[in-house]
Structure 1
Amino acid sequence: MTGRADDPVLQALEPWLGGDVLLAVSGGADSRALMHAAAALGARVRVATVDHGLRPDARAEAEGVAAAARALGLPHAILAWAGAKPGTGLQAAARAARYRLLAAHAAAIGAERVLTGHTLDDQAETVLMRLAAGSGPAGLAGMHAARPLAPGIGLGRPFLALPKAALVAWCEARGIPYLRDPGNADPRFARGRLRAAWPILEREGLTPGRLARLAQRAARDEAALRAAAGQALDAARLPAADGTLRLDGTVLAALPEAIALRCLDSALTRAGAAPRRLERLEALVLEALLPALRRRAAIRRSLAGFLIATDTAGLVSLDPAPPRRVRAKSAALAAGGSPLLGKGEPPAYIGEVCTDGPAKPGEASVPGVAHAKD
């Protein structure tokens, strides 16, 4: 395969095409550019289109992609999202289904990498949604160019640094047809409302480029904080004969709050805790655990299916909480969601998994997946 020095699309894609690759392609300009650029580079890739079954013409659009792939000599598969669709959290559920189907197909054909056509504009929208949702740095880091999708399968976003306009222009210059998804402007969804607000935001200087830079800076800082928290957890962890997790509270109490938060978050993840809200983690660590450790007081709190306790000697223990009946009110709160901007999607929390709180009906908890575009 040979790239072209004057073509930023080919330059961006070429490093991702080694090995067995599956391209996730819809009818949009970004993913059409992904498919045609791979063909232009002579890559032997496979293509898949997910038919979510949410619009009457979705199947015809998927078949159109299949025909275009065949014309390029690329094997293609249509992956259908079957079954009932949820009444709430539809975009999140569709995203989870999309990645689940792509991962399963990649495993079936032996692909080691799935590539999508996400752009800088998608990154900016993701960061803005997470900002509106009150995310911490892990959420504001936005989408990663590469992340695990399933065991032995990675997810890559070659065009994450390219504006969507560059991919649209690339397709138009080559006469490549593409579709515009009407759902992208649907005001029922947060992304549709954000797209309508872009002209106002850009006049105030809140441009996609600046939000993408914010994501880079947040990712850089989060990586450093996470590394420091990992070292702190190794230093605080105590041997426990029964396999439970025990921590030296004096180590935790001496940490900066940002490190202590991530240290306990990592400890909960290692222990197998459920996803947790940033607000609840902050309340536990900053308002209860650290003050108790510093005054050598015994406390007992629950979070994410675990009991976190400390004694007067400064020992911190994390043990699975006994099962309890979920109250109807709690279940209703978990399933609900305000239609206000940023509130229709789960806000990101502090951990490496950027979703938050209990999953909405029909939404899978997928490590590393945050919002509709992730």
Structure 2
Amino acid sequence: MGPGSVYRGGVLAVSGGPDSTALMGCAALVPRGLPVIVATVDHGLRPASAVEAQAVAALAARLGLAHRILAWTGPKPAAHLQEAARAARYRLLAGLAREAGADLVLTAHTLDDQAETVLMRLCAGSGPAGLAGMAPARALDGVTLGRPFLGVPKARLVATCDSQGWPFVRDPSNADPRFGRARLRRLMPLLAEEGLTPGRLVRLAGRLRRDEAALAQAAASALSDLRRSGPDGHGTLILDGAGLATLPEAVALRVVGLAVTALREDAAADPPRLGQLERIVLGEVLPALREGIPCRRTVAGLLLAAGAGRLSLSPAPPRRPSRPHPA
């Protein structure tokens, strides 16, 4: 959703809560230049979800907007339910966009959501990339995911719905203490009293997003300069070890992370954890390169071998099966 972006059509993700209802209502007030479809994902997790989806359909019809209900079918996981529901929601929304010939999915994430996300990631020990929070726009399965309300407080959207007479519902899971986001939401007023307001958390995210973009660009440029070969037919990539060792550690860490990502066969797999990369790259590989001593470590199924002034990355050999203990 950058300057000059041109889109063919959009899918509005509307659950029926105040934020997404305001998104739908505001879209209806805008002169129709972009064809839109309102989509409600029924996760089937609460008895009232089907009724709520029908209520969104009724309001969409009243506003003159097309509407689709997307059902999340199949077994639901017992653990990490909210994460699984989020992944299913985005998959269904992107699928509808492609089916309809649209290339934009819009969600109603607010300033409050961004602040909670930053706080959750802080609690999880995230680095700058995680603390940068949600991006205003990003790629999503061949379409663009946009968040136009990311700088808007939730209270303003609630007030907009009230003033326009747009009915909405409140999801009880938003206050369910079983979920981490709900527990942190209850803490936000106390943190605000100490000065850690949602606005300050969002400004922190913006600053870190800016810095992370600069570091990512520096790392991509450094990887191009330091690459000596590969990946070759054996899946090996070689970097100039001396040059890597002289980089600022934040850039060197990202260079190795980019190289690892470039070599992994399963592009959809989760990237290596920041803590693991820090421990191995900063704690062992870079010191070995600086001191000119060999070092071999495994990260995300890849062998990192430092020595002879270079760092090579290649698929790790299969582990030997453990021998059974004698009876």
CA offsets 1:266-286 (integer angstroms, 9 cap, x no match): 111111264111110001111
* 1:31 alignment partner AA: S
Provide TM-score, normalisation by structure 1.
0.80
From 260, 272, 296, the equivalent of 2:252 is: 260
CA contact (8 A) 1:21 1:113 kept: yes
RMSD across aligned positions (CA): 1.9
Higher relative contact order (CA 8 A, sep 6+): 1
* Offset, 1:322: 3.9
Say whether 1:237 aligns with 2:227: yes
- Residue 12 of structure 2 is matched in structure 1 by 23
- Secondary structure of the 2:177 match is coil
CA contact (8 A) 1:16 1:158 kept: no
* Divergent runs of 4+, >6 A: none
* 2:28 alignment partner AA: A
- Residue 196 of structure 1 is matched in structure 2 by 186
Say whether 1:282 aligns with 2:302: no
CA contact (8 A) 2:7 2:104 kept: no
Q: Distance in 2 between matches of 1:126 and 1:194?
A: 10
Structure number with bigger Rg: 2
Aligned residues: 312
Say whether 1:293 aligns with 2:285: no
* Offset, 1:248: 0.7
From 132, 157, 161, the equivalent of 2:147 is: 157
- Secondary structure of the 1:49 match is strand
- Residue 112 of structure 2 is matched in structure 1 by 121
- Residue 325 of structure 2 is matched in structure 1 by none
From 24, 37, 49, the equivalent of 2:40 is: 49
What is the correspondence of 1:3-82 to structure 2 with a 5 Å cutoff? 18-43=7-32, 44-82=35-73
- Residue 134 of structure 1 is matched in structure 2 by 125
Gaps (5+ residues) in structure 2? 323-327
Worse-superposed segment, 202-211 or 318-327: 318-327
Gaps (5+ residues) in structure 1? 1-11, 328-374
CA offsets 1:134-191 (integer angstroms, 9 cap, x no match): 111100100000000012x100000001000110111101111111110001100111
* 2:259 alignment partner AA: A
Worse-superposed segment, 267-276 or 77-86: 267-276
From 167, 174, 183, the equivalent of 2:157 is: 167
- Secondary structure of the 1:308 match is strand
CA offsets 1:63-94 (integer angstroms, 9 cap, x no match): 11111112222111111111111111111111
- Residue 320 of structure 1 is matched in structure 2 by 315
- Residue 357 of structure 1 is matched in structure 2 by none
Worse-superposed segment, 28-37 or 43-52: 43-52
Identity %: 60
What is the correspondence of 1:209-228 to structure 2 with a 5 Å cutoff? 209-228=199-218
